[in-house]
Structure 1
Amino acid sequence: MLDYFDYQKLVYEAFLDKRNQDNRFNFSVRQKASKGAEKNYFIGTEKGMYFSTTLWNIKVGYPGSAGDLINVIFSYTQKNTRLAYYIELNQTNSPNDDQNLWALNLIKDLEPIVKDSLGLKKKSNPSQKICNYKSKSRQDAYSTTEELMYDVFQDLEILMPIVNRNITRIKEMHPEFFAHQLTNEEFELQQSKLRERLEKFSTKKDTSQKGSEEVKKSDKYIVTENKALNQILFGPPGTGKTYKTIEKAISIIHPDFDLSQDRNQIKAEYNRLVENGQIVFTTFHQSMSYEDFIEGIKPVEPEKEGDPINYKVELGIFRRLCVNAAFDLIQSQESKETEEVLDFSILYDNYSEKVQEQIFNNETVELESKSGGKVIVESISAQGNFIVKHPEGMRTYTISKPRLSKLNTAIKNLNDVSNINDQFREIIGGSNSSAYWAVLNAIRKETKKVKKIKGQRSFTFEEKLEVVNGHQNYKNLKGKAYVLIIDEINRGNVSQIFGELITLIEEDKRLGKEEELQVQLPYSKKTFGVPANLYIIGTMNTADRSVEALDAALRRRFSFEEMPPSYGLEELNGVVGGVQLSNLLKTINGRIEMLLDKDHLIGHSYFVKVKNIRDLQLVFQNKILPLLQEYFFGDYGKIGLILGTKFFEEETKNKTVQLKSFFDYGDDGFEERKIYRLKDLSRMNEEDFKTAIIDLIQ
């Protein structure tokens, strides 16, 4: 029999993993615990051999009530040898107020729907004091929590939209009905309380050694913040999504960093991590392409005037960051191959410096070729390449470090090369084989010890790329976290920008994971995978495009965190012009949601820096009014329903304007219709503006 505590722990872990992939699955945990239940994750009793959780916050209360309106119940069956679950809905048949009456109506309306979609294990009985019924599970009994939780999540996927539609329907008739799915804030608060309780309990002396070990083990399952590899912050404009990405990125890289510090200190740490290459910020737009994000063929500026323009594969934002992150993983456990690449890089740098000094002193640098002839080094280019030519020739050849490194790795002994053209071309392509042989041979003759200086230098991106391209096994490698912030992610064509990589960003498809996947990139033909230490944080303005309009493949691979307007901020407690800013924002948003939807609310950031009536006047003139005109496409009737009459003025009619006659089409009184315009708030005096604001919230 699975231990009661272990059963809870495994269910908790499964819910947490699911929630980190999809925050529609915010779930409840036990807040307080009586003696004997201090280490429990969920409401329930060991004696009763059950525990439960819910995904909704629906306030109900009546004598004898316990638990929530909608509960997922976990229990045992077959003499406690197997596991079981069901979904239970409870409410009194004698509600004492409107809230409880609406809750009762909700579960009564749901019963036939639940019966059709999930099946019923127990029907409700109208003659009983409690309206109670239970769903039928997909199996009678389960041997493992993995099998059980798979079916639980299947049922919840069906149940969630059904419940939410019915809640919305009741709220349309009764807006005061308190019912919603658990929010991110509610989830985090409950997790924090659970963590505090477990930490407190773990400090107490436990008379049972086994109990102490169980409490210690349980700590690792508690998280206070969503650390999903791929997450998107979504909400209306001005809710601080981009602002929040800075804190999230820092907390991912440095979990112990104190985010309660002054904002300037937080920004300083963020800027430091950007300079170190651990955070990269980009913004998606309609012109962003796969070639900008992953890789593409781009023109290369000629090294000498008159030379033809060449083209090469240029790495994009995402792939460059992947290289840096993967290199960090590789460095944690350097292989022989990695050492060879890095050692050669140092030898190359040392030798090129030596040659450059010889050329500066007007010395001729001659290198021996495979055939016994000579090759002359004419210069070292600004890119660090060797520019060589044959003694009697005029044509120069460019010998690059990355291609030499590939040759150095592939060919252990240059004297074993029988057909230099064929063998070199197979490794690096192109021509100039004799020139490459000569430079590589000269570098290998260098006797400087690289081990002493290795720790004193940083590695170029080309060196990192060469190491990453040659590395295969990432299993169990650990490294620093890297974060890519994509602002306005929904403004780009995500499917086109990510291409085939949309699959590779999944957690279990990352490099080193059991289901690791790699693909061959279309331009470079290199094998590529996404390292496990790379996090992606996106932001999405819901006023531009709703969550539902996003590609389904994207939504499935990202965890979504909603960021609605926050009315409880200290900056909104101030009173300006006789009106509290939080009340003003709440009033405007309430009317917008009634006329439009919650995706087009106005964020709190527009008001946080308002200190006086002039500031507020400018915010309305430059921010609020343009937003409302955009939302309602210049429909002053609807804008007027939000702001009231004091923000408008009737336009004086131009008597010279008359409509033309058009066959039998009448003017329908258009010439008599009144025309309204929004007032120019920049010219409105403060008293008139105060009057308009006070009128707005009434």
Structure 2
Amino acid sequence: MKPQIKFIEILDFLRDYGKRYYKDSNKIEDKDQKQEMIALKELGRERVKEFLKVANYFSSKGYMYEKTASQWLDGSRRAIRDYLWIELKNPLKRSYSTSISIFAERVNSQIRFRVSLEIKDKDSEIDVFNRHNKYMDILDSAHTNFEYFVSVNGNSALKEVEKNEIASTIEKAKKREYHKLQIGRSFSYNDVLEMSSDRLLKSIEDAVEELQLYYNRAVEDGTEDHGINSNRASLIGGNVMNDKNIILYGPPGTGKTYNTVKYALAIIENKSFEQIEEEVDGAGYEHVFLRYKEYKDKGQIAFTTFHQSFGYEEFIEGIKPVVDDENTGEIKYALEPGVFKAFCDSASKLKVVTSNDADLISGNPTVWKISLEGAGENPTKTDCFRNNCIRIGWDHLPKHIEFDTTCDTSTVRDMLIDFQDTMSIGDIVLSLFNKTTIDAIGIVIGDYDFDDSLVEYKRKRAVKWLATNIRENIYALNGNTNLTLRTLYKLNRINSSDLMEIIEKYPEISSNSSSNSISVEREFNNYVFIIDEINRGNISKIFGELITLIETSKRLGKDEELTAILPYSKKKFGVPDNVYILGTMNTADRSIALLDTALRRRFKFIEMMPQSLVLDDVFVHDIEISKLLEKMNKRIEVLYDREHMIGHAYFIELKEDPSIERLASIFKNSIIPLLQEYFYEDYKKIQLILGDVNKTDELKFIRSIKIDPNLFGASLETDIDDKDIFQINQDAFYNINSYTQIYDL
């Protein structure tokens, strides 16, 4: 289902207010003018928010867009823009100044929407223009219905090219006689009036898809696959895996966990699995694994293993005991997110990026509520907003508080320790206005300081305010719980991603008009959550009601987006679209046919069987390891099934150490115990697997020995004459012929 967008109201705003003077209402004394500017600001925000619905629609389909472009004020902050602008880019080419851009604009007397292949003038040197202009090499004006717009030099406005001048204009643009040429489609004010929201959005989407072929050529730099792919995937990276939920399944030792590293990198880096395998072949697995560890350290990859005791509380959320303080040993109970919910929170976190690409928010920020001299408006709060800081009192107490410091109350002591020690750079602070409403959002950027130059409220930290003097009701966001007057405490029900909807109401905070500029955006990178041994857990117990939410079509931002109210926190929760779940499943533990039906239909299954070819170059003296493995697996498939074959990974270490001692260790400590487990110590079948029935006694791994009839004495009435006992022949492990006669009968 497409979003309903008020396209005509966006154009009306540009028509009525484009180029109009604007002044910050906080700097205006006249009440009427002040109210006028406040109303204008609110209207501008509403129209930008409406326009960003277009951007978010394309974002949900995998496109990346630059949010700083969609501002309602110009760079001077003293005039309203006469255009709004969205740049759509391939995430892998985000640094390039070329984009497919969507404009809402007023050009002279024309009010319109326009979709064009664009390049930023101010960011582009001559070599950048030359690469961008390569799209003209495949542009055939005789067989396309694009509109053409040209600027003669860097300072001139775009003008539409007449049909009879298109061919000559393209040639002049190729020769750089014109500054730049844009191709695309436009939709006039009258067109918009006559079209429904769905129809116009579909027309814009069609125009974007038409331009993809030319966009791909304009950003070519030699790192792409050969050939031009005109489908949507080529714009968003081409090799992104479409399946959000994947299970690698197969017998033990087939490299399932090993391959999660390669699959995770393919997903995060928008590459094909084959490209990663080529890297492994060329540079070695260690080179790829190093990148995997870097992503894991950054929090983009998480790893857990399911087991019989693993439950909902560990996976989603639960109430857990915590030691309140090491000195008292007091135990309290706190609501803690499980590994998957915490990972999803990170994947949808708020990103606040400075002009030098530094992310101000820590990996897993705590959200704090702070009262700056109490509720409402007051001088301390005004000073904090003006000077980018937060301040609290209790100036009569020591500058640095320890656990044993005598304070007014233990609550005051805990609060001051939280302010000076527990609060971290990168955490988020919300300033109290009243019991349901906040009036500012900021990010902690400095350590604790006791500022003696201040008259009062001397305990201080530096913050970067994202929005001040706002009025945002967070009662529902806080689990339908009122804020209290306590000066400082954690808002455990709120995380950074919850605040994005509020932040997006104030797009001017991400202005890039100064050196201190910041950009506020959602996390767009892919995240991979790996679940090893996924079939060993009780799926219903672990996922609970959230099993539906992992479906690709039910992810956040999708047309069929679903959320659930979590039972403990009472918060809405959904699975972000950039989270991939990658599981492994050992079929020797549990057949895929027996897997939980709800899980099975929500995952794509990739079978991983033994690859004896991997061992083709491995020889231990005259023993051909690939033949040995292949013959054993054929016998296992007949005597048991294909899900209990032996994986090639058991023998990989022979590549580095092809000795009989190493092979003996593998058979004694891995292969024989595995076969004993498979066949419940039915040694006759194990003998068949190892070819022992055709060997002489000294070459058999498993010997059968007749029972001595006198073992129990003459009084035994039980007939045991035909019963055999079995014995493992230790000498066979070091005999080359014991192995060769497994496959060479």
Q: Taking structure 2 as the reference length, what is the TM-score of the superposition?
A: 0.50
**Partner SS state of residue 497, structure 2:** helix
What is the distance in 2 between the residues matched to 1:424 and 1:566? 57
Equivalent position amino acid for 1:241 in 2: K
Q: Are the aligned partners of 1:509 and 1:517 in contact in 2 as well (CA < 8 Å)?
A: yes
**Partner SS state of residue 553, structure 2:** helix
Structure-2 change in CA distance of 1:424 and 1:251 (3 Å): closer
Does residue 411 (structure 1) correspond to residue 411 (structure 2)? The answer is no
Counterpart of 2:666?
619
Q: 389, 398, 410: which one pairs with 1:359?
A: 398
Structure-2 change in CA distance of 1:612 and 1:254 (3 Å): same
Counterpart of 1:517?
562
Q: 321, 333, 340: which one pairs with 1:318?
A: 340
Shift of 1:352: 6.9
Counterpart of 1:658?
712
Does residue 676 (structure 1) correspond to residue 726 (structure 2)? The answer is yes
Q: 650, 670, 684: which one pairs with 1:637?
A: 684
Shift of 1:292: 0.3
**Partner SS state of residue 513, structure 1:** coil
Does residue 496 (structure 1) correspond to residue 541 (structure 2)? The answer is yes
Structure-2 change in CA distance of 1:383 and 1:233 (3 Å): farther
Q: Are the aligned partners of 2:532 and 2:585 in contact in 1 as well (CA < 8 Å)?
A: yes
Equivalent position amino acid for 1:466 in 2: N
**Partner SS state of residue 523, structure 1:** coil
Shift of 1:597: 0.6
**Partner SS state of residue 652, structure 2:** coil
Q: 681, 693, 703: which one pairs with 1:649?
A: 703
Structure-2 change in CA distance of 1:224 and 1:357 (3 Å): farther
What is the distance in 1 between the residues matched to 2:733 and 2:725? 23
**1:53-92 equivalent positions in 2, closer than 5 A:** none
**Partner SS state of residue 535, structure 1:** strand
Shift of 1:265: 1.8
Counterpart of 1:448?
none
Counterpart of 2:124?
none
Shift of 1:651: 3.7
Structure with bigger strand share is 2
Aligned pair count reads 425
**1:262-281 equivalent positions in 2, closer than 5 A:** 262-281=284-303
> Considering only aligned residues, what root-mean-square deviation do their CA atoms show, in Å?
4.7
**Partner SS state of residue 557, structure 2:** coil
What is the distance in 2 between the residues matched to 1:406 and 1:326? 25
Structure-2 change in CA distance of 1:231 and 1:474 (3 Å): farther
What is the distance in 2 between the residues matched to 1:425 and 1:199? 48
Structure-2 change in CA distance of 1:526 and 1:200 (3 Å): closer
What is the distance in 1 between the residues matched to 2:643 and 2:237? 32
Counterpart of 2:630?
586
What is the distance in 2 between the residues matched to 1:238 and 1:356? 64
Q: Are the aligned partners of 2:432 and 2:438 in contact in 1 as well (CA < 8 Å)?
A: no
**Partner SS state of residue 251, structure 1:** helix
Shift of 1:690: 1.1
What is the distance in 2 between the residues matched to 1:238 and 1:521? 38
What is the distance in 2 between the residues matched to 1:375 and 1:326? 36
Shift of 1:228: 1.4
**Partner SS state of residue 252, structure 1:** helix
**1:276-315 equivalent positions in 2, closer than 5 A:** 276-303=298-325, 305=327, 309-315=331-337
Structure 2: which 5+ runs fail to align?
A: 1-60, 62-223, 355-360, 373-383, 403-407, 441-473, 505-520, 693-699
Structure-2 change in CA distance of 1:484 and 1:248 (3 Å): same
Counterpart of 1:242?
257
Counterpart of 1:530?
575
**Partner SS state of residue 398, structure 2:** helix
Q: Taking structure 1 as the reference length, what is the TM-score of the superposition?
A: 0.53
What is the distance in 1 between the residues matched to 2:299 and 2:563? 24
- CA deviation digits over 1:354-389, x for unaligned, max 9? 9799733689xxxxxxxxx999944656655899xx
Counterpart of 1:576?
620
Structure-2 change in CA distance of 1:479 and 1:238 (3 Å): same
Shift of 1:640: 0.9
Q: 607, 621, 625: which one pairs with 2:651?
A: 607
Shift of 1:599: 0.3
Counterpart of 1:166?
none
Counterpart of 1:595?
639
Shift of 1:327: 1.0
What is the distance in 2 between the residues matched to 1:425 and 1:692? 72
Shift of 1:248: 0.9
Structure with bigger helix share is 1
What is the distance in 2 between the residues matched to 1:431 and 1:344? 11
**Partner SS state of residue 568, structure 1:** helix
Equivalent position amino acid for 1:631 in 2: Y
Structure-2 change in CA distance of 1:406 and 1:576 (3 Å): farther
What is the distance in 2 between the residues matched to 1:462 and 1:321? 18
**Partner SS state of residue 532, structure 1:** coil
Give identity over the alignment, percent: 36
What is the distance in 2 between the residues matched to 1:695 and 1:641? 12
Q: Are the aligned partners of 1:658 and 1:671 in contact in 2 as well (CA < 8 Å)?
A: no
Equivalent position amino acid for 2:738 in 1: A
Counterpart of 1:165?
none
Q: Are the aligned partners of 1:245 and 1:537 in contact in 2 as well (CA < 8 Å)?
A: yes
Q: Are the aligned partners of 1:510 and 1:532 in contact in 2 as well (CA < 8 Å)?
A: yes
What is the distance in 2 between the residues matched to 1:286 and 1:271? 28
Counterpart of 1:106?
none
Q: 486, 491, 495: which one pairs with 1:466?
A: 495
Counterpart of 2:525?
480
Structure-2 change in CA distance of 1:310 and 1:255 (3 Å): same
**1:390-405 equivalent positions in 2, closer than 5 A:** none
What is the distance in 2 between the residues matched to 1:426 and 1:575? 64
**Partner SS state of residue 296, structure 1:** strand
Structure 1: which 5+ runs fail to align?
A: 1-16, 18-197, 203-213, 333-337, 364-372, 388-400, 415-422, 441-460
Shift of 1:675: 2.0
Q: Are the aligned partners of 2:350 and 2:497 in contact in 1 as well (CA < 8 Å)?
A: no
Deviates more, 1:652-661 or 1:479-488: 652-661
**Partner SS state of residue 483, structure 1:** strand
Q: Are the aligned partners of 2:247 and 2:583 in contact in 1 as well (CA < 8 Å)?
A: yes
